[in-house]
Amino acid sequence: MNVIKTKLNDVLIFEPKVFGDERGFFMETYRSDFFTEQTGSLPLVQDNHSKSAQGILRGLHYQLEHTQGKLVRVVQGSVFDVAVDLRQSSTTFGQWFGIELSAQNNRQLWVPPGFAHGFYVTSETAEFVYKCSDYYHPQSEVAIKWDDPSLSIEWPLVDGKQPNLSAKDIAGTAFADAPKFK
């Protein structure tokens, strides 16, 4: 597994070793010992799986309590995945990082606790799977607006069309008003 640092403190890209043969391929996608060694995180406790059509944007989400670190990847299609540093003590506070995750590049992104996370589907459909470091806690969920001007995230909108959002994401809060972490 190759590990690449990003411009955001503690956000890492994982590139698994892929073993291809005439049958197809095999890759180890998660090992708790290696993951904990690389991130300092406790082993991950909840797996999620979502499917979305092109143009769907889910995010930018985080939980204030039971803050979740997320190890995210795409098993079908492709997305533009984004993390935003909400830790006021971090030198990359208020900065964002985006990366294409796809079933072709097999890349994973580690988004630690203290970040908002979201993704935009660029392929016809995308299946997004991820492991979380704590459990779902809807009572403390926050959504930050995907197009907040103070973040100016460069989403690769297909044909420049506005993304399709859930009601929760349409009602998202401004970055300035969103509760932050120490």
Positions in the binding site for ligand T46 (CB under 6 A):
48, 50, 58-59, 61, 70, 117-119, 136, 166
Q: Which is nearer to ligand T46, 59 or 114 (CB)?
A: 59
Counted residue by residue, the chain has a size of 182
Q: Is 130 a catalytic residue?
A: yes
Q: Is 66 a catalytic residue?
A: no
Supply the minimum distance, in Å, between the C-beta of residue 35 and ligand T46. 18
Q: Which is nearer to ligand T46, 107 or 117 (CB)?
A: 117
Alpha-carbon distance 71 to 73, whole Å? 7
Catalytic hit among 30, 61, 120, 135:
61
Alpha-carbon distance 141 to 85, whole Å? 16
Alpha-carbon distance 37 to 102, whole Å? 25
| Residues in Cβ contact with 67 at an 8 Å cutoff, skipping those fewer than 6 apart | 113, 114, 134, 181
Q: Which is nearer to ligand T46, 92 or 116 (CB)?
A: 116
Supply the minimum distance, in Å, between the C-beta of residue 167 and ligand T46. 9
32 φψ region: left (φ > 0), alpha (ψ -120 to 50), beta (else): alpha
Supply the minimum distance, in Å, between the C-beta of residue 164 and ligand T46. 11
Q: Which is nearer to ligand T46, 140 or 166 (CB)?
A: 166
Alpha-carbon distance 172 to 93, whole Å? 20
Catalytic hit among 49, 117, 130, 136:
130
Instruction: Tell me the catalytic residues.
Output: 61, 130
